[in-house]
Amino acid sequence: MTNLTHPFLDLDGDKLREECGIFGIIGNGASGANAAATCALGLHALQHRGQEAVGITSFDGVEFFTRRGLGHVAENFASGESIAELPGHMAAGHVRYSTTGGAGMRNVQPLYADLASGGFAVAHNGNISNARMLRQELVQKGAIFQSTSDTEVIIHLVATSRYPTMLDKLVDALRLVEGAYALIVMTPRGMIACRDPLGIRPLVMGMLDGNTVFASETVAFDTVGADFVRQIEPGEFVEVDFDGAIRTHRPFGTVKARPCIFEHVYFSRPDSIFNDRSVYESRKAIGMELAKEAPVEADLVVPVPDSGVPAAIGYSQQSGIPFELGIIRSHYVGRTFIQPGDATRHNSVARKHNANRAIVAGKRIVLIDDSIVRGTTSLKIVQMMRDAGATEVHFRVASPPTGHGCYYGVDTPERSKLLAGRMDLAAMREFIQADSLAFVSIDGLYRAVGLKGRDNACPQYCDACFTGDYPTPLTDLALRAQDEAQLALPVGKAALV
Amino acid sequence: MTNLTHPFLDLDGDKLREECGIFGIIGNGASGANAAATCALGLHALQHRGQEAVGITSFDGVEFFTRRGLGHVAENFASGESIAELPGHMAAGHVRYSTTGGAGMRNVQPLYADLASGGFAVAHNGNISNARMLRQELVQKGAIFQSTSDTEVIIHLVATSRYPTMLDKLVDALRLVEGAYALIVMTPRGMIACRDPLGIRPLVMGMLDGNTVFASETVAFDTVGADFVRQIEPGEFVEVDFDGAIRTHRPFGTVKARPCIFEHVYFSRPDSIFNDRSVYESRKAIGMELAKEAPVEADLVVPVPDSGVPAAIGYSQQSGIPFELGIIRSHYVGRTFIQPGDATRHNSVARKHNANRAIVAGKRIVLIDDSIVRGTTSLKIVQMMRDAGATEVHFRVASPPTGHGCYYGVDTPERSKLLAGRMDLAAMREFIQADSLAFVSIDGLYRAVGLKGRDNACPQYCDACFTGDYPTPLTDLALRAQDEAQLALPVGKAALV
Amino acid sequence: MTNLTHPFLDLDGDKLREECGIFGIIGNGASGANAAATCALGLHALQHRGQEAVGITSFDGVEFFTRRGLGHVAENFASGESIAELPGHMAAGHVRYSTTGGAGMRNVQPLYADLASGGFAVAHNGNISNARMLRQELVQKGAIFQSTSDTEVIIHLVATSRYPTMLDKLVDALRLVEGAYALIVMTPRGMIACRDPLGIRPLVMGMLDGNTVFASETVAFDTVGADFVRQIEPGEFVEVDFDGAIRTHRPFGTVKARPCIFEHVYFSRPDSIFNDRSVYESRKAIGMELAKEAPVEADLVVPVPDSGVPAAIGYSQQSGIPFELGIIRSHYVGRTFIQPGDATRHNSVARKHNANRAIVAGKRIVLIDDSIVRGTTSLKIVQMMRDAGATEVHFRVASPPTGHGCYYGVDTPERSKLLAGRMDLAAMREFIQADSLAFVSIDGLYRAVGLKGRDNACPQYCDACFTGDYPTPLTDLALRAQDEAQLALPVGKAALV
Amino acid sequence: MTNLTHPFLDLDGDKLREECGIFGIIGNGASGANAAATCALGLHALQHRGQEAVGITSFDGVEFFTRRGLGHVAENFASGESIAELPGHMAAGHVRYSTTGGAGMRNVQPLYADLASGGFAVAHNGNISNARMLRQELVQKGAIFQSTSDTEVIIHLVATSRYPTMLDKLVDALRLVEGAYALIVMTPRGMIACRDPLGIRPLVMGMLDGNTVFASETVAFDTVGADFVRQIEPGEFVEVDFDGAIRTHRPFGTVKARPCIFEHVYFSRPDSIFNDRSVYESRKAIGMELAKEAPVEADLVVPVPDSGVPAAIGYSQQSGIPFELGIIRSHYVGRTFIQPGDATRHNSVARKHNANRAIVAGKRIVLIDDSIVRGTTSLKIVQMMRDAGATEVHFRVASPPTGHGCYYGVDTPERSKLLAGRMDLAAMREFIQADSLAFVSIDGLYRAVGLKGRDNACPQYCDACFTGDYPTPLTDLALRAQDEAQLALPVGKAALV
C-alpha cells in the first residue's frame, strides 16, 4: 500500500525501500496462543520491510480492536498493556514506511470499516496503480474517504458491491483494481489472504500449533515458531474460518506469475525462502555469477555491510580471493549530527561505516554491494577505501543497473535521480571513481535464482526496475501526466479528517 | 454534538455539562487579521463549554487545514507554530468534552470531508436524536463512517444529496435530522451558520474589523475584540461569502423557539448575553426570586463558589442579609490525590473548597448553589459548614429540581442518579442534611429571565430537564430501548478507524 | 529560599510573589496515616505560595527518599506510584517558584545530604541575605556546592559544625546566618521546625491523629484534616521525635518579632489564620479603612478578581454602595496566545478578565485591588471598565504604595519598575488613568490587622516593601554593589552539576 | 567509572560490558571547529562502550556548560540546539552504562565542581577500588557528596588538596587512589589527560586541524577525521593549554604496564588500534590459534554475529572450512516482547538471531563466539542450530574461560553466575549441549596479540578475569566483606540529592 500523495517520496538513504510487511493469524483458541502477541512478534521479524509505522487489528468474536503507532514494533507492541488492548483469536498487522504527523497516522494499516455486512479489516502490501481513477468515481457517488491510502479504495469497492458473500464482494472489488497487492482481510467469519494475479508482492502461509498464519516472509514464521507450509499462489484467495477449515479459490483463472525479483536481491531477509528458494543462496549465487562475469585480480573481497555480505562470500568462494571485513558498520546510527567543521570527508557515511585501515591499507580490493540507486553512497565508500590506503578499488554490483521506477509498492527515486537512469556504465564508473565497475547481467541474475536465464517472451519475474518492462497498465501515472499538463488542482488529497 | 456510544457518560463532578462551544470567522483579508489566531482566542473564551478536546479548521482559498488536540485551547493553539499550520482568511473551531484515546481524537471537531462538490467542514454544538437510525440507513447503502459522532451523519447526508448548491444540500440533509444543532459549516465558497428550528443551542453573530464572526456566546466576541450584532434566529441559515456578502434563509418557515433555559442557569458565562438578556442579571434575579419565595432568618449569605455567586448577591441584596465568602475555592484542582488515611471528611470537596472558619463559626448561614444534580457535593458542603461551626445551614437552589435527562447536547446522569429523579423535596433535604432546602419555582425562573411565567401551552424555553417536556421526538432513545429488550449486538459502534 | 543567581527575576504578572510554602509531618505510625500522602495534600493547599516546582522527602526509619518535579503538586504527587516512592512516617515538602531547566531541578527542595552524623534534609521558606559571603568562605575551605540555592549554605555549615548534637549543629549554623527563614529539618532522630529570630516568614504547628504537622499556613491543616495548635514563635526551635515527644528551645533569647505584613495583604489564603488573626477579616477590615479614608460617591463596588474580593466586600459594607461582579475572571489562562491582529486592546488582561458590560455600562464604579506593583495591569483594567461604558472609575488599593524591594524570600521587581518607586500619587493616578486613586495608609493597614497603628519606634511587622525599613543587614546586596563596581566575574554561579 | 551501589549489576545479556567511553578536544579556535559538535561525533563512535547515558561539558573561556541525557548520543546531541548550549573551544564527554532514574542522572559524567581555584570537570573511564574508604574519610571531615559515583571522590580530593597548581592537586589526589582510571580533566587553563600507572583502561591522543583530541579508542579519530598520534602511556599525564602547548609528566616514575587484554577480545571496535595493534587482526589471529589448538572436521564455520565474525574468518582461513552466515542477526531488537504462548523455544535469542536453515540443515558446523559469560545464550544458539538441522555443533571460544570478576570498570556477574566460575570444561560442554567445546589457551591468546606467550612472572596485560591475578589491591571489596559480616547499614548510599 502506498500513499497516493507521495508516490515518489525521495530517499534519505540510497536504497530502494520495500514499503510494507504484513502478518496474520487465525486460531480456534485451542492452543492458548495469544493472536495479537504472536502478530507483534511476527511483525518484529518483518521490521526491515517498514520501519516508520505499525498497526495491529484483532477480533474477539464480537468486536474488532485496533492499535497503531509511529516507529518500530518493539516501541508500540512489546508491552503487556498494548497486547491486552487486542483480545481474541484472530489478528493481523502491518509495518510500513510512512509520512509523519497526524495525517500519516490515519494511513497506518490495518484499515478498518463497519460495513452493513459487519466489520472489515485489511492489511495491504503493494500498490494499486489505478487507485486515483477509482477514487474519483467513488467520490462522485457520495463516498467519503478518510485516508489518502490507495487501500481505502478496496474497502469502498467492497462496501458498495452487490454480491452476497464477503469473498464474492472482495473478488468483485479486486476485479476493478490494477497493480500489486498481497492482502490479509479479516471479517467476523474469518480471514482471507490473497495475492494479485501476477503475484508481484510475496505472501506465505504457515501453521503454528493448529493456528493458520500468513506473512510476507518465512523469517516471521521462524521467529514465532511456526512451520512454513507454502506460498500463496499468484491470483489465489485462501479463506480460513474459526474451525480451522481452509478453502482456496482461483477467481482469475490461470495466469503467468511475475513475482518481484528484487526480493532476492535486497528486500527479503537472507534467512527467508522466497519463491521456493533460499534468499541467502540466491545472493551467494549472484556473487559467484559476478566473479565469473567480471573477474579481477585483487587481494581482498570486501562487502559493503550488511547487505553486500552474502554476494561477497559468493564472490570470494568463486574467485579464491580472501573475504575480509574491510568496512566496519556502526550499530548506532544518528542521521542528523551537526557537522563539527567544514571538512566534507566526515559525513554521514563516515558515521555509519568506517574503513578497517589495518586491513585495507596497501591492498587491491573488490567492493561488493547489492545495488546502486543514486550512486552517492557508492562514491563515498570508494573514497573511504582510498583514504584508508587501498591501492585499487574495483566495484562489483549484485544486481543489474536500476534504471526505472517501481509502481508496485517500492519507494523509488524519480528516474532522473537514478544513476543508471541518466548514465551509461563508463560514466557511472567515472562518477563513483572506482578503478573498475561491473553489474551482474540480467541473465546472470536469472541464473543465480535457478533459471536458465530470462525468458524475454514471457519473463518469469517482474524486473521492471532493471528493464522498464512493466507487467500491468499504469493508469494513474497516465492520468497524472495529463493533469500536470493542465495544471489542475490536486484531487483526492484531503479526506474526511 | 455527542458521542453516540456514551450518551449517559457519568459525571466526575456533580454538574450538568454543556458539551460544546463553537467559533467561526470569515474575512476578506483586508483587515490583516489572522483567522485561525482569532478563532483560537475565541475558543479560549468558550473553554468552559468543553475542556477535553479542541480543533480548528482553516481554508486558504485552495486547501483546508485541520489541527486537533486533547486538552485546553491554550495547550494546543497558543503557539505561533500551531497557528502557522492553519493559513487563510476563514476558520472555524470547536471545544468539547471527549472520551480520551485514539478513538476520541477522531471525534474531535471540526469534521472534514472531501465531497465531489469540494471540501466540507462542520463544527456542531448539539445532539441529533435520530442519528443512530439515519446512520443505519446510510451504512446499508455502502457509506463508511470514520467516527462515532452523530455529526458525521450530516456529512454523509450532504454527500449523497442530489440538490445542486451547498446550501440546498445542507437544508436537504437537515430536514431528515431531528434534535438540537447549532452549526458552523465551511465550503470553498464561504461559511454557513445555522440553528435548528427550535433554536435549542445558542449561536450569535458579530463583526470584527469587517470580518464576520460566529460564536456560541457573546463573551467570545469581547475576548477577540469583536462587536456583538445579533443572535442567529432559530431555524435561520446565514450564508457569508469572501466578499463579506451576508444572506439569510428560513427554509423551515416560522417556528416557535425553545432555547435552552439552562444557559441562563449555569452553562453560559455570566458576562455573556443570551437570548437578548444579561446572564449575570438573570442569575441575580433568580437569587432575588429565591429570597422572595423562600426567605429565612440568617446571619450570612454564602455562595458555593464560583457558580453560586451571582444568585447569592441577588439573595443578599433582596434579603438584606450580608454576603460573605464563607467558602474559599482553590484555584489548583487535583482530582486523584491518594487519600492519606481513612478519614472520610477529607475528600475531593475539601481539596477544592475550604470553609472560611473565622467567618462561619457560630453563624446561621444561607448557602446558595446554582443547581443540584446528584446531591453528593451538596451533602459534603453542608457538612463542611457544620464542621466549621455553622449553627444552621439553609440550602437555596437557583434552579428548579433537575429530574430529567437532556438529549440535546448536555451530559446528564441517568435519571436514577439525579437526586430530583428519585426523591421528593423532604427526602432531598434529609439527604443533604440541611436545616431547610428550597428550589426556585419554574415560574420564578421564568420571571427571573424577564417573562411573566411559563406559558404551559407553548413554553418559551426548553426546560425538559426540569419538566420532562421534550420539544422533539427522541427516535434513537426509543430504538435503543427496543434493542436492549432484544439483547442485540451494538450497531454502528466502530467505524473506519 | 531563593535562587542566588536571579534575585530580581522580573515578573510576568504584576504581583509580588511569595516564593515558597513548606509542610512537614512526623508520626509514630500508630494512626496508619501515610506521611508522604498527607504531605502532598498539605502542599496542594499551599500551591498559591509556589507553582513552578515541588519536592517531598520522606524517611522510613532507615533511609531517606526524595522525589521532585516541575509544575504543580497534583501533576507530580497525586498518583499512588509517586507516593509509593516515599515510604515512612516522616515527610516534609516544599513548593516554590523556580527557573526552569536542569539547573532549576537541582534547586528544588527539600535539599538532602549524607553527613557524617547521618542523613539531613531541609525545606526552607525565606532568604538568607548573607548567603553569598558564607558560600565564598566555605568554598575556600574545599566545600563543593551542588546547587545555586542559599539553602545549601545551611547544610554545609551544619556539616562542618563541631557541636555534638544535630540541634546544636543547626543552631551553630544559623547563628552565622542573617535574613529570613522558616525551616523544616529532618534527621534520623526526628523533625526540627524553626523560624528566624524576627519571625519574618510564617510557620504553624498542628496535630493530626497523634501526628505532629507543620505548615506555612493553617489552610493546609484544614485540607489534611488536622487541628491548628499554635504558630511557631519567632526564634523558636521545636524538636519532635518518633515517640511524639515535643521539646521547644529559644537559643536566641527574647527578640522583638517582625512578621511580614504582606501575608495579610496578599500572600496568605483568606481562609488562613496568620499571626493569630483571620486573613479574610484583615482584608475586609482594610476595605473598611479604605472606605473611611477615601470615600467616593459611586454606584457599584467592583473587585479586581480574585484577590480584591474581601476588601471590596468590606468597602461595600462600610460605604453602603452595592458589591457587584463587574469583572469576570476566566478560569482558563493561556499566557502566550498569538495576537490575531494589531489591536492593542485585546491583550493578555482581556483573556484573563472580561468586563461584565451589562452591569458596568453607565455606572460610576469603585475598583478595589489588593496592591499596585508595576501598574500596567491596573491601567488595562481601568481602560476595560471605560470601554464597557463605566462613566467614572475610582481606584482604591488595599495596601500602601509598594516602593521598595524585598530581600526576605519574595520576588519583587527592581525599584525602578515599581510604580510607587518612581512616581508620586498624582503621577500614579495619571498613569493608570483613573478618575481618582487612593491607597490605604500605613496606619490604616496596622489598624485593620487589629493594632492601634504602626509603632514607629519599634514596628510590630516587617513592612519594608512599603517603608524601606529593613529589619536586618543586607550583606550580599552590599557585596554585589561592590562587585558590580569592579566588574568582577560571576562567583559561585555554577556548582557540582 | 562505576556506580558504587551496584558493583555487580546483573546482566540482561550475556556479555561483559565495558562501562565507559570518553572523548576530549581542546583547540585554539583557529580552525573554526566546534568543540562540542566534534565531541558528540567522537562519542557516537564510542557508543558501543556505553549506551545508557551521555554527557558533554564545554568551556568558552569564561564559563563551563554541561548537558546530559539518558540514552544514545544521537538522541541527545545530534541537534543544533543541543550543541548550541555548549559553546567554546574545549569540550569533553562521556558515554556510560547507567541505572535509570533521577539518581542515575546525577551520576552521568562529566562531573563538574566549582572549586576555590576555579571550575573543574572530569570524565572518567575505570573504577577506583578504594573509593568507599576514601569517601568515608572525606564525609567525616564535612564533605557533602552529590552522586554515588566513585569519580566524585577524585573531585573532593582535588578540592581539599593543599598543592598550588591544578596538575599538582590532581597528582596529589590520585596518589591516594587505587584502581583503574583513564581521565580527561578540564580547568580554565586547559585539559589534562592521564592513565593510571598500570594503564588498565585505554586512552589515545590525536590531532584534528591543530586541535588536540583524546579518546578511548582510535575509531573515534577516524569518525571525526582526526589523525591518530599515539596512546597515552600508563602513568602519563598530558597537559594541553589553549595555545596548543603540550607537556607530559610521569609523576609515578617507571611502572610495568598491565593494559586490559579484553579490549582485544571484545570491548574495542575491530577497526580500532589498541596497544599499537589492530584489534581486527588480533581477533582473526585468535581464530587461527583456535583452529590450530582445537581443530575439528566440519562443513561450515559459522560466527555468532557480530562479535564472533573476525575470529570465524581466521578459523576458516586457517582450517580451510568455508565461512558462512549460518545465523542472521536482526537489526531491530525489542527486549520485552510478551511471549505469545508457552513455547520455550521462541525466546529473546530467537528475536535477535535466526538460523539460516537453508545453509545449516544437514551440515556439521563450527560455531565461533568471542567469549562465554553465563552460558545461557550459548545453549540457546546451539539448540537453534540443531533445530535448523545441523548434524554436529562444535563450539569454539575466542578467549580463555572467564572465571573471575573485574573491579576495574567492567560490569561482570558475580562469580557464582560465571559458567567458568562454577564448572570445568566437560561440564560446560554438557551445559551448552555442544558436540565439542574448546577455548583458546591463555598462551594462545597472548600469541594472538603478538607476544611469545604470557610472562607469568610479570604479565604483559591485565587478564584477571581469566586468571584471577589482580594487579592492584581491592580495598573496598575487603571492607564490604567485613561490613556484610557485621550486618552494617549501608554507608554512602544517598548523597546531596
Summarize the confidence of residues C438-465 as an average pLDDT.
97
**What pLDDT was estimated at residue A15?**
76
Q: Is B462 annotated as a binding residue?
A: yes
* Residue contact C142–D143, C-beta within 8 A: yes
D139, D146, D490 member nearest C496 (Cβ): D146
**Cβ separation of A338 and D309 shorter than 8 Å?**
no
Tell me the residue type at D114. Answer: D
**Residue C259 grid coordinates:** 512578621
Q: Alpha carbon of D438 to those of B36, D239, D421, D424, D435: distances in Å?
A: 72, 46, 16, 12, 11
DSSP D242: T
Segment A410-427 mean pLDDT:
90
Distance from CA of A489 to the nearest CA of B (A): 8
Q: Which of B102, B115, B144 sits opposite A156 (nearest CB)?
A: B144
Establish, for the pair of chains A and D, how many residue pairs have beta carbons separated by less than 8 Å. Answer: 207
Assigned CATH topology for domain C278-450: Rossmann fold (3.40.50)
Closest residue in B to A101 (Cα–Cα): B67
- Measured between CB atoms, does A121 come within 8 Å of chain B? no
More confident residue, D481 or A123: A123
Kindly list the residues from chain A whose CB atom is less than 8 angstroms away from the CB atom of residue D322: 317
Between C315 and D6, residue with greater pLDDT: C315
Is A357 in contact with D41 (Cβ distance < 8 A)?
Answer: no
Within 10 Å of residue D335's Cβ, how many Cβ atoms?
Answer: 11
Alpha carbon distance C186, C212 (integer Å): 13
Contact C1, C127 (CB under 8 A): yes
- pLDDT-based confidence at A147, cuts 50/70/90? confident
Instruction: Please tell me which residue in C20, C39, C194, C458 is annotated as part of the active site.
Output: C20
Q: For chain A, say whether D320 makes contact (Cβ under 8 Å).
A: no
Q: How far is C141 from chain D (nearest CA, A)?
A: 7
Q: Is C270 on the interface with B (CB under 8 A)?
A: yes
Contacts of C47 in chain B (CB under 8 A): 330-332
> Is B177:B157 a contact under the CB 8 Å cutoff?
yes
Provide CATH 3.60.20.10 ranges for chain A.
Answer: 17-259
D182 pLDDT higher than 90: yes
Chain C residues touching D62 at Cβ < 8 A: 489
Tell me which residue of D17, D275, D241, D10 sits closest to D125, measured CA to CA.
D17
What per-residue confidence (pLDDT) applies to C169?
Answer: 96
Chain B residue at shortest CA distance from A63? B494
The annotation status of B465 as a binding-site residue, yes or no, is yes
B105 or D318: which leads in pLDDT: D318
Q: Which CATH superfamily is domain A17-259 in?
A: Aminohydrolase, N-terminal nucleophile (Ntn) domain (3.60.20.10)
Question: What is the DSSP track for C105-162?
Answer: HHHPSSEEEEETTEEEEEEEEEEETTHHHHHHHHHHTT-----SBTHHHHHHHHHT--
Enumerate the β-bridge partners of residue A23: A93, A215
pLDDT score of D488 more than 60: no
Please report the pLDDT score of residue A51 as a whole number: 87
Predicted confidence (pLDDT) per residue in A69-121, tens digit: 988 898 899 888 899 999 999 999 999 875 433 446 777 899 999 999 899 99
Contact B314, B283 (CB under 8 A): yes
Does residue D412 contact residue D8 with C-beta atoms inside 8 Å? yes
Q: Do A116 and B489 touch (CB under 8 A)?
A: no
More confident residue, C230 or D339: C230
From the number of C-beta atoms within 10 Å of its C-beta (0-12, 13-18, 19+), residue D61 rates as exposed
Of the candidates A63, A156, A495, which has its C-beta nearest B114's C-beta? A495
Residue A484 has pLDDT above 80, yes or no: no
pLDDT for the residue numbered D46 = 95
pLDDT value for A79: 83
**B458 in active site:** no
Query: How many residues would you count in chain D?
Result: 497
| Residue B102 C-alpha, separation from nearest chain A C-alpha, in angstroms | 9
| Residue whose cell numbers read 551542588 | C146
Are D496 and C112 within 8 A, CB to CB? yes
Task: Examine chains D and B and say if they touch (3+ CB pairs below 8 A).
Answer: no
Binding-site residues of C for [4Fe-4S] cluster, in ranges, read: 260, 406, 462, 465
Q: How confident is the model at residue D55 (pLDDT cuts 50, 70, 90)?
A: very high
Cβ distance of B146 and A66 shorter than 8 Å: no
Facing B155 at nearest CB: one of A116, A144, A152: A144
> Which of C102, C114, C143 has the CB atom closest to D494's CB atom?
C114
Closest CA to D104 of D186, D200, D9: D9
Cα four-point dihedral sign C341, C342, C345, C348? positive
**Contact criterion met (CB < 8 Å) for D323 and A313:** yes
Is residue A54 within 8 Å of residue A43, measured between CB atoms?
Answer: yes
- Flag residues of chain B having pLDDT under 70: 1-13, 18, 29-33, 98-104, 333-350, 486-497
- List the beta bridge partners of residue D59: D64, D90
Whether D229 contacts chain C with CB within 8 A: no
Considering only CB atoms, B144 lies closest to which of A62, A64, A155, namely A155
| Interchain proximity B146–A143, CB inside 8 Å | no
The average pLDDT across A204-211 equals 94
Task: Determine whether the interchain pair A144/B119 forms a contact, defined as Cβ–Cβ distance below 8 Å.
Answer: no
pLDDT at residue number D495: 40
Identify the helix (H) or strand (E) that includes residue A163. Answer: none
Q: How far is B313 from chain A (nearest CA, A)?
A: 47
Query: Quick one: pLDDT band at residue D102, thresholds 50, 70, 90?
Result: very low
Residue C347: what pLDDT? 52
What pTM did the predictor assign?
0.83
Residue of A85, A144, A148 to mutate for B, most B C-beta atoms under 10 A: A144
Average pLDDT over residues D155-183: 95
| Nearest residue in C to D140, CA atom | C116
Q: Where does chain A hold its CATH 3.40.50.2020 domain(s)?
A: 278-450
**pLDDT tier at A292, thresholds 50, 70, 90:** very high
Chains that touch B (3 or more CB pairs under 8 A): A, C
CA-nearest residue to C62 within chain D is D489
For C86-115, what is each residue's pLDDT tens digit? 999 999 999 987 543 344 677 789 999 999
pLDDT digits 0-9 by tens, C247-278:
999 999 888 999 999 999 999 999 999 999 99
Q: Do chains D and C touch (3 or more CB pairs under 8 A)?
A: yes
Q: Is the pLDDT of residue A487 over 80?
A: no
CB atoms inside a 10 Å sphere around CB A305 = 18
How does pLDDT run across D335-352, given as a tens digit for each residue? 456 666 544 334 555 578
Within an 8 Å CB–CB cutoff, is residue D169 touching chain C? no
Contact D146 C144 (CB under 8 A): yes
pLDDT confidence of residue A276: 94
Please tell me which residue of chain B has the smallest CA distance to A138. Answer: B116
**Taking CA atoms, what residue in A is nearest to D35?**
A340
Q: What confidence tens digit (pLDDT) does each residue in A209-254 have? A: 899 999 999 999 999 999 999 999 999 999 999 999 999 999 998 8
> In the predicted model, is pLDDT for residue C10 greater than 60?
no
- List helix spans (H) across B329-371: 348-352, 357-360
Asked if C113 has any chain D CB less than 8 Å from its own CB, the reply is yes
- Per residue in C288-344, pLDDT (tens digit) is 999 999 999 999 999 999 899 999 999 999 999 999 999 998 877 654 566 665 443
What part of A 27-86 touches D (C-beta under 8 Å)?
A: 31-34, 37-38, 40-41, 44-45, 47-48, 51, 72-75, 77-80, 83
Q: Does D109 touch chain A if contact means CB atoms closer than 8 Å?
A: no
What is the rounded CA–CA span in Å between residue C270 and residue C272? 6
User: Sorting pLDDT into bands at 50, 70 and 90, what band is A11?
Assistant: very low
